[in-house]
Amino acid sequence: MRKFLHEAKRVIAVARKPDQEEYLQVAKVAGLGILLIGFVGFAIMLISYFIQGMLAS
């Protein structure tokens, strides 16, 4: 437990608040990742609908 507390104190001492430019860059990358995952999921769903439609007819 002492080792964990020592490590936690060390991490808090090294950590810093990101500046506005760094924050915006992280927000943009995260937003693009969310959009990309959503687009891939939508494309997979669309392809599966087309495949099911072709198999049903």
Average pLDDT of span 7-13: 92
Give the model's pLDDT for residue 54.
Answer: 86
Average pLDDT of span 7-20: 92
Q: Which residue type occupies 16? A: R
Query: DSSP code of 1?
Result: -
Contact between 26 and 18 under an 8 Å Cβ cutoff? The reply is yes
Give the tens place of pLDDT for each residue, 14-52: 998 899 999 999 999 999 999 999 999 999 999 999 999
Query: In which band, very low, low, confident or very high, does the pLDDT at 57 lie, cut at 50, 70 and 90?
Result: low
Give the model's pLDDT for residue 52.
Answer: 92
Give the model's pLDDT for residue 5.
Answer: 94
Nearest to 44 by CA among 32, 54, 34, 36: 36
CA atoms within 13 A of residue 40's CA, in its CB half-sphere: 6
